[in-house]
Amino acid sequence: MSRSHRSVIPGFGLSLGLTITYLSLIVLLPLSAAFLKTLGMTWEEFWAAVASPRVIASYRISFLASFAAASVNCVFGLIVAWVLVRYPFPGRKIVDALVDLPFALPTAVAGIALTALYAPNGWIGALLAPYGIKIAFTEIGVFIALTFIGLPFVVRTVQPIIEELEPEFEEASASLGANRWQTIRRVILPQLVPALLTGFAMAFARALGEYGSVVFISGNMPMRTEITPLLIITKLEQYDYKGATAIAVVMLVTSFTLLLLINLLQKWSRRHAAV
Amino acid sequence: MSSVVSSLQHAAAAGHRPLATRDADWVRYTLTAVALGFLALFLLLPLVAVFAEAFRRGIGAYFAALNDPDGMHALKLTLLTAAIAVPANLVFGVSAAWCIAKFNFPGKSLLITLIDLPFAVSPVISGLIFVLLFGAQGWLGHYLDVENPALPWLQAWLIEQDFKVIFAVPGIVLATVFVTFPFIARELIPLMQTQGNDEEYAAITLGASGWQTFWKVTLPNIKWGLFYGVILCNARAMGEFGAVSVVSGHIRGQTNTLPLHVEILYNEYQFVAAFAAASILALLALVTLILKSLVEWAHARRHAADAAS
Least confident range from A68-72, A132-136, B43-47: namely A132-136
- Identity of residue A208: L
Establish, for the pair of chains A and B, how many residue pairs have beta carbons separated by less than 8 Å: 284
Average pLDDT over residues A19-43: 92
CATH code that applies to domain B58-308:
1.10.3720.10
**What is residue B137's predicted lDDT score, i.e. its pLDDT?**
66
Disruptive mutation site among A3, A8, A14, A15 for chain B (greatest number of B CBs within 10 Å): A15
- For residue A233, list chain B residues with Cβ-Cβ distance below 8 A: 124, 245-246
User: Which residues 52-91 on chain B approach chain A with CB closer than 8 angstroms?
Assistant: 53, 91
Statement: residue A55 has pLDDT above 90: yes
pLDDT of amino acid B146? 53
For A191-247, write each residue's pLDDT tens digit: 899 999 999 999 999 999 999 999 999 988 889 999 999 999 999 888 898 999 999
Å between A179 CA and nearest CA of chain B: 8
Break chain B into its structural domains and give their ranges.
22-54, 58-308
Helix A189-209 / helix B123-134 crossing angle, nearest 10 deg = 40
Contacts of A26 in chain B (CB under 8 A): 174, 177-178, 181
Q: Give how far B280 is from chain A: nearest CA, Å.
A: 10
| Complete DSSP assignment for B21-83 | G---HHHHHHHHHHHHHHHIIIIIHHHHHHHHHHTTTHHHHHHHHH--HHHHHHHHHHHHHHH
pLDDT digits (tens, 9 = 90+) for A148-175: 999 999 999 999 999 998 888 888 888 8
pLDDT given for residue B167 in this prediction = 82
Amino acid, res. B102: K
Q: How many residues does chain B have?
A: 309
The Cα of A2 is separated from the nearest Cα of chain B by a number of Å equal to 9
Domain boundaries, given as residue ranges, for chain A: 50-274
Chain B, 30 to 49: residues with Cβ < 8 Å from chain A are 31-32, 34-36, 38-39, 42-47, 49
Residues 6+ apart with CB under 8 A from B18: A167, A171, B8, B11, B12
Residue A3 has pLDDT above 50, yes or no: no
Establish if B143 touches chain A: CB-CB under 8 angstroms. no
Whole-structure pTM value:
0.90
Determine whether A218 is exposed, middle or buried from the number of CB atoms within 10 Å of its CB (0-12, 13-18, 19+).
buried
Question: Please, where are the H alpha helices in chain A?
Answer: 2-6, 12-23, 29-39, 43-50, 53-86, 92-98, 101-104, 107-118, 123-128, 139-164, 167-175, 180-183, 189-209, 212-218, 228-237, 241-274
Statement: residue A4 has pLDDT above 90: no
Identity (one letter) of the amino acid at B34?
A: V
**CB contacts, 8 Å: A116 with chain B:** 49, 53, 271, 275
* Class of CATH domain A50-274: mainly alpha
Mean pLDDT for the stretch of residues A108-115? 96
- Decide if B99 and A11 are in contact by the 8 Å CB cutoff: yes
Q: In degrees rounded to 5, what are phi and psi of residue B119?
A: -65, -25
Inter-residue contact A110 to B235 (CB < 8 Å): no
Chain B residues close to A205, C-beta within 8 Å:
120
Q: Positive or negative CA dihedral for A232, A236, A240, A246?
A: positive
Mean pLDDT in consecutive groups of 10 residues from the start of chain B, 309 residues: 49 51 84 96 96 93 89 93 97 95 92 92 95 76 57 68 78 95 94 91 91 93 93 95 89 84 93 95 95 89 76
Q: Residue B155 has what pLDDT?
A: 67
When pLDDT is averaged across residues A53-63 and rounded to a whole number, the result is: 95
Confidence of residue A126 (pLDDT cuts 50, 70, 90): very high
Residues in chain B with CB shorter than 8 Å from the CB of A3 are: 104
What is the overall mean pLDDT for chain A?
91
State whether residue B249 sits within 8 Å of chain A by CB: no
Mean pLDDT of all residues in A42-57 = 93
Nearest CA in chain A to B45: A117
ipTM of the shown complex: 0.90
Question: Which residue of A lies nearest to B231 if distances are taken between CA atoms?
Answer: A104
